């Protein structure tokens, strides 16, 4: 077992006392003028549509059995792929992940490890499809009140989504690209990071590299910190895997930035994230490091909040796995 702590240019501080964490949360809500994330943000002119000499992109779609969701999978295949099987990175929130990349980065990836890049998203132009990912990325049902104060039952589709990846997405990718099954990585941010962890817990052999960025451990009143984790810790039986847990420094200290408390969606979210302490991901990495067979690295990004961690964590993942320049320090700070 291996546990490595890194904190982007500074020593990682000791665990904060609970009183400090609560103070950080109390200080996180003062301003009503801050801009909030736009849940309807659209994307266009991504690397999928651009011409490039380094990668070519292929696309396929899949429908859910109930017809409620349609997934879009974009595969980046190195244009000059060699005969040897290539490593592969599966990325959740495919549209948002595509926005992190540009042509210089693709050129560098192709010149280094030349991984196959798989962007798993939804068949629309939303940067983040919140309703769909809430279903697919969560292994636990959540019954919290919504922004209107009405009890809402959401989530719980992660096991079906794991089946989709294993039985439908991976086989289709392997038809189109020469994959090294011994070098498969899964990256996800926020609820996607939570999905990465539940996949590690229940299918530790599905990937060799698991990257959980800012995982939403507060989901369903902290359910991810309960039985599933405990069963994994007790019954992992030495299955080898490399695990990265990444967190923004502002997240760990409970600094949520300024939030518009006149926005019911924001108020409902702040209420829900109280299901876990802000440093829960760091503490989780310490517990995972005790599991035989796991090589665990915790990386903290100084000053970053939850939103910028999507970009920073994916850039750091590409650098760690495939040797490209680490652009993560250039990610914007709060919120």
Choose, from 54, 198, 220, 306, the residue flagged as catalytic: 306
**DSSP state letter for 274:** G
Q: Reduce the DSSP state of residue 185 to 3 states and report it.
A: strand
Choose, from 189, 251, 313, 328, the residue flagged as catalytic: 251
- Please report where in the chains the tokens 């929130």 appear, as a residue: 93
Helix (H) or strand (E) holding 90: strand 86-91
Torsion-angle region of 221 (φ positive above 0: left; ψ -120 to 50: alpha; else: beta): left
> Contact 296/289 with Cβ under 8 angstroms?
yes
Is there a catalytic annotation at residue 306?
A: yes
Crossing angle of helices 309-322 and 103-111, in 10° steps, is 20
CA distance 327 to 314: 9
CA distance 195 to 201: 10
Residue 179 backbone phi and psi in degrees, to 5: -100, 140
Is there a catalytic annotation at residue 242?
A: no
Enumerate residues 6+ apart whose C-beta is below 8 A from 71. 61, 62, 63, 64, 120, 121, 122, 123, 164, 169
CA distance 180 to 86: 5
Choose, from 54, 190, 285, 313, the residue flagged as catalytic: 190
The catalytic residue positions are 190, 251, 306
């Amino acid at each position: 077992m291996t546990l490595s702590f890194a904190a982007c240019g500074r020593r990682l501080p000791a665990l904060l006392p609970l009183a400090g964490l609560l103070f950080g949360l109390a200080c996180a809500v003062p301003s009503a003028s801050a801009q909030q994330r736009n849940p309807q943000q659209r994307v266009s002119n991504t690397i999928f549509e651009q011409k490039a000499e380094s990668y070519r992109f292929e696309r396929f779609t899949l429908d859910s059995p109930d017809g409620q969701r349609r997934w879009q999978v974009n595969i980046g295949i190195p244009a000059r792929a060699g005969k040897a099987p290539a490593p592969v990175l599966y990325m959740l929130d495919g549209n948002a992940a595509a926005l992190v990349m540009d042509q210089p980065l693709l050129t560098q990836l192709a010149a280094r490890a030349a991984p196959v890049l798989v962007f798993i998203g939804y068949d629309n132009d939303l940067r983040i499809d919140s309703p769909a990912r809430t279903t697919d990325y969560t292994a636990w049902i959540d019954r919290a009140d919504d922004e209107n104060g009405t009890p809402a039952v959401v989530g719980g589709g992660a096991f079906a989504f794991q089946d989709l990846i294993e039985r439908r997405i991976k086989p289709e990718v392997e038809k189109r690209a020469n994959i090294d099954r011994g070098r498969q990585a899964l990256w996800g941010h926020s609820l996607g990071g939570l999905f990465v962890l539940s996949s590690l817990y229940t299918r530790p052999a599905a990937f060799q590299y698991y990257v959980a960025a800012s995982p939403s451990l507060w989901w369903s009143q902290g359910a991810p910190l309960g039985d599933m984790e405990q069963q994994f810790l007790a019954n992992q039986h030495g299955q080898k895997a490399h695990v990265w847990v990444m967190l923004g420094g502002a997240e760990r200290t409970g600094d949520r930035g300024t939030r518009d408390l006149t926005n019911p969606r924001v108020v409902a979210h702040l209420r829900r994230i109280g299901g876990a302490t802000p440093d829960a991901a760091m503490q989780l990495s310490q517990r995972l490091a005790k599991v035989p067979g796991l090589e665990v690295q915790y990386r903290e990004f100084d000053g970053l909040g939850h939103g910028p961690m999507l970009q920073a964590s994916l850039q750091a993942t590409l650098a760690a796995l495939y040797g490209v320049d680490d652009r993560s320090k250039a990610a914007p700070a709060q919120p």
